Amino acid sequence: MNEQLIGIDVGTSGLKALVMDASGIVAGTTTARYDVLRPQPGWTEQPPQCWWDACGQALRTLQDGGCLRPDAVKGIGLTGQMHGSVFLDAAGEVVRPAIMWNDQRTAAECALIEDKIGLARLVELTGNRALTGFTAPKAVWLRRNEPDNFRRTRHLLLPKDYLRLRLTGEYATDVSDASGTLLFDVARRRWSEEVARELEIPLNWLPAAAESTEVTSVLSEEAAMALGLRPGVPVVGGAGDQAAGGVGSGAVEPGIVTSSVGTSGVIFAATPRPVIDPQARLHSFCHASPGLWHLMGVMLSAGGSFQWLADTLRPIAKDAAMERILGELALESSVGSGGLLFLPYLAGERTPHADPRARGAFVGLRSEHGLAEMARSVMEGVTFGLRDSLELMREMGVEAREVRAIGGGAKNPLWRQIQADVFHLPVASLAADEGPAFGAALLAAVGAGFYDSVPQACRATVRIDSVVEPRRESAALYESLYGRYRELYPLLRDTFHALDDLASQA
């Protein structure tokens, strides 16, 4: 095919641009890096200009390499880090650096929101409870702590939608990304007037929310000239990174569950109707596929736990390939890591405990245990944590017949086998695991008319590379270990909190 589609992913540490044809064959990808600002402990910010600069750099790299042919581009899809807050004035100028998804400054605002609206009513309206990562608490924080900036603000955008503004001049978002703001009525796929009113956030700050495949605008002449593209290219609504990743893995039909192991870990499943957990242990969002919703369980330190172990050992081993070495060592350990369990709560936890003060732990250490057991135990502990989310979904009636593994963890055969054994499900890897950027390009393909629907596009383009089946004996042992794993957090919760108090006094 001669036509090309672009997917752009505004990530936490870099912007990824992908070019593919309508059959899903990827012509090229590139990533332009940028930094995260940490002005205070627990704060994370980025100047939105860095996303625009990275977009130009990435698209020029693809053009220079011959992957991107400007005259062939038929659509652009956007995705990116969710929940971030971009505050703009009446002229569309940035008021202050964007507050990111992993910023932790809003604990007091989250408590205020749940107290003012009531937790049950908030969950009923938005499908979620107030978490520090979400957008609404950041806007409340701005009003309480930077009143001058709050008074200047006239627009509130998510990161990928700031890029849309620079590409098209239009203020818009999509329903999946809007679902992560805590200002969106997920069941009705529209902004919640009640929540906005209660939190004193002007409804006219919020952009129109389109379906993910809907063409929201076209590339402006100014942006086209800056990027070396032709003006008038359609730009679709796009999606938050997790919903776009779900599209890119084909998780748009019942029974297909996505397991993503990056720095964080996510279990993702599509639902034909809004399914809301009254206890808000799972996130309930609109799917990027129109007419669908999705449930999502999030653990904060999945691949991040393995990275922590590698980083801890790297200065001792003086080897930059510690992740590879640990992966090889883990193969030397048996199923169950010799009775060693790892709790992956290094950065607190979201699902199922919603406890920012949870902490990590190795339990069952003996003198016989070495790095091999520790490395495998981290993989197993992370997978047990992902199963927590899977079990919650099953309780809520979600069918799971196949898991599609994506992210860094999917590249490790042992980790895929551990997932199959722990989940009691076949685990597939994808031929093209390009992450959310691939899903964004697929959404553009639907918006440009190459496909009638997102499921049709996924069936035509998402290809399975290999499948590992659960092993009966290993699955039985893991079932017993998982029961012990689930007992540990309730037993250790008070100790975790006491240790956190002591650490804050040190």
Alpha carbon distance 491, 506 (integer Å): 25
Alpha carbon distance 186, 101 (integer Å): 19
Pairing, β 255-261 against β 400-406? parallel
* pLDDT score at 317: 66
Alpha carbon distance 153, 88 (integer Å): 5
* pLDDT score at 320: 66
Active site residues: 241
Amino acid at 294: H
Contacts of residue 280, Cβ cutoff 8 Å, sequence gap at least 6: 119, 123, 127, 128, 129, 354
* pLDDT score at 226: 95
For the chain, the structural domain boundaries read 4-243, 250-432+470-500
* pLDDT score at 310: 86
| Token representation of residue 222 | 């100014």
For 452, other C-beta atoms within 10 Å of its C-beta total 9
| Domain 4-243, CATH number (from 1.10.357.10, 3.30.420.40, 1.10.150.120, 3.30.9.90) | 3.30.420.40
Alpha carbon distance 391, 263 (integer Å): 22
* pLDDT score at 327: 87
Domains 4-243 and 250-432+470-500 share a fold: yes
Three-state secondary structure readout of 157-180:
ECHHHHHHHHHHCCCEEEHHHHHH
Facing residues of 16 across strands? Answer: 9, 31
* pLDDT score at 308: 85
Q: What are the per-10-residue average pLDDT scores of the chain (506 residues)?
A: 91 94 95 93 93 97 95 97 96 97 91 96 94 95 98 98 98 97 97 96 97 97 96 97 94 92 89 90 94 92 84 74 84 91 89 88 92 92 95 92 89 94 96 90 97 96 94 96 96 93 80
CATH T-level fold of 250-432+470-500: Nucleotidyltransferase; domain 5 (3.30.420)
Largest CA distance in the chain: 67
Q: Using alpha carbons, list the distances in angstroms from residue 336 to 261, 268, 385, 395, 479.
A: 20, 26, 15, 26, 10
